[in-house]
Amino acid sequence: MSKKNSSIFLLLFCITVTAQQLEPIEITEEWLAKIEKLAPAEPTVKNMEKKKVLVFSKATGFYHWTIPHNIEMLKILSKKSDAFEIRNGYDIANFEIENLKKYDAVILNNSNPSGPDRDLFADLLRQNTTLPDNEIAEKASEYQQNLMEYVAEGGGLMIMHGAITVQNNSEAFSKLTGGSFDYHPKQQKIHVMEVDSKHPLVQAFKGDGFTHIDEPYFFKNAYTDLNFRPLLYIKVDQLEGLKNPVNEKVNYVAWIKKYGKGRVFYSSPSHNAQSMDNPELLQFFLDGMQYVVGDLKCDDSPMEVEK
């Protein structure tokens, strides 16, 4: 191979690798101004009372670099729409029942716990208390129950990407969230499509879905019950690096569901900050926020889906 061809090959290789593994980007004034410009000018449902939302952004396991970007994006959506009052939190005391009652919704922002227990509340207690293991287990279970009861009694819960793992080994919590994380293949270009393009929660995508670089998440536990309203899916046969052959034609990556009197919205797309360059995705997040607080009414009954 000539030196010239070698250089071209190396350049193409680097472009391909970069395209599949996005590098962290800085939060600059320019980046904030760009998101501000791309964010929806107004909420889908207007003239509603401003809702209070807790954004919980503490991770004890794998740290997603986009956590602070999500915080800034959520602040911009809230301020520009004038629909939400955002408070960012890291303290486990936020999950005391009297503190949860201060909010209309909780957003879990890539709050990944460590493995193999995958119990965020136990991790936080180990980091911040000197309680013995048996008391940590008891208190962690109490925090989990607090959050589940908060939603069951009418609170909203929005889960961003890796936060599906918050209590990943808990069957009860999996029934709240709609599923537990199983694994993901490598980051790759994914075309995400709407399950029902007429559903109000995906109206932003106009029936065309969107393409971005992301980790295609696969799920287990309550996910197999499909006890949710699926919103977005990816075609399994278009993915690379599957751990095992699967029979399913599609994999759902965003959904909504009722839990008691409350509402849950999960979006796996919320991993790389570069995806926020899509104004339709920003609209999707804002609509999801309006859904969980009860402002945006839509069909959230489980849908008969083909596996």
Six token digits for residue 293: 């607080």
Band (pLDDT 50/70/90 cuts) for residue 8 is: very low
CA 137 – CA 133 distance, rounded (Å): 6
CA angle in degrees (0–180, nearest 5) for 138-260-171: 45
Of 211, 144, 210, nearest to 171 by C-alpha is 144
**In this structure, are residues 169 and 120 in contact, taking their beta carbons and an 8 Å threshold?**
no
**Predicted pLDDT of residue 1:** 46
**Predicted pLDDT of residue 15:** 38
**In this structure, are residues 174 and 228 in contact, taking their beta carbons and an 8 Å threshold?**
no
* Averaged pLDDT for residues 63-89: 95
For residue range 117-131, what is the model confidence (pLDDT) as tens digits?
A: 999 999 999 999 999
E runs forming strands in the chain? 51-56, 84-89, 105-109, 156-160, 180-183, 188-194, 210-214, 218-220, 229-235, 250-259, 262-267
The model carries a pTM of 0.91
Six token digits for residue 90: 């890291």
Superfamily per CATH, domain 48-292: Class I glutamine amidotransferase (GATase) domain (3.40.50.880)
**In this structure, are residues 204 and 167 in contact, taking their beta carbons and an 8 Å threshold?**
no
Band (pLDDT 50/70/90 cuts) for residue 245 is: confident
Band (pLDDT 50/70/90 cuts) for residue 305 is: low
For residue range 171-204, what is the model confidence (pLDDT) as tens digits?
A: 999 999 999 999 999 999 999 999 999 999 999 9
Q: How far apart are the first and last CA of the chain?
A: 48
Write down the mean pLDDT value for the chain.
91
**In this structure, are residues 99 and 147 in contact, taking their beta carbons and an 8 Å threshold?**
no
**Predicted pLDDT of residue 63:** 81
**Predicted pLDDT of residue 304:** 76
For residue range 252-304, what is the model confidence (pLDDT) as tens digits?
A: 999 999 999 999 999 999 888 999 999 999 999 999 999 999 999 999 999 87
Type of residue numbered 121: F
